[in-house]
Amino acid sequence: MTLICVPTESDIGPYSEMSAHFGKTSYLVFVGVEENMIKNYEVKKCLGRHEGGNKTPAEIIAESGADILICGGLGSKAVSILTQRGVKIFSGASGTVEDVIKQWKAGKLSLANESSCPNDN
């Protein structure tokens, strides 16, 4: 099974809007996909540094076991953390979790790397 993470603004699973600011996301929706079919959704509160936690969203996702992150965009530090842990990053997505999974399945999202993301030093 492939585990996909989508940062969101709310905790309503497939109907949650993707978070516009990756580093300040409030929730992470994990989508289990097997044989191109969605098997399950799990929503977790993202207790990143902006929410009083001690890790960044990228560090939380890297430790979650996610295989893929789908987002609108993110900085080079987050890309570095995630790619070092083997997480593939697809950027350029928008809409709800359901929408972005469809965009990913249709091959409409770009694979992100450090050179394609802004430097966030």
* Interior angle at CA 100, CA 83 and CA 35, nearest 5: 80
Residue 12's Cβ-count burial label (10 Å; 0-12, 13-18, 19+) is middle
- Note the pLDDT tens digit of each residue in 7-45: 999 999 999 999 988 988 999 999 999 998 999 999 999
With respect to CATH, is domain 2-116 assigned 3.50.50.60?
Answer: no
- Note the pLDDT tens digit of each residue in 87-106: 999 999 999 999 999 999 99
Q: What is the DSSP string of 12-74?
A: -GGGPBBPS-GGG-SEEEEEEEETTEEEEEEEEE--BGGGT-SB-HHHHHHHHT-SEEE-S--
Q: Is the backbone of residue 63 left (phi > 0), alpha (psi -120 to 50) or beta? A: alpha
pLDDT at 54 over 90: no
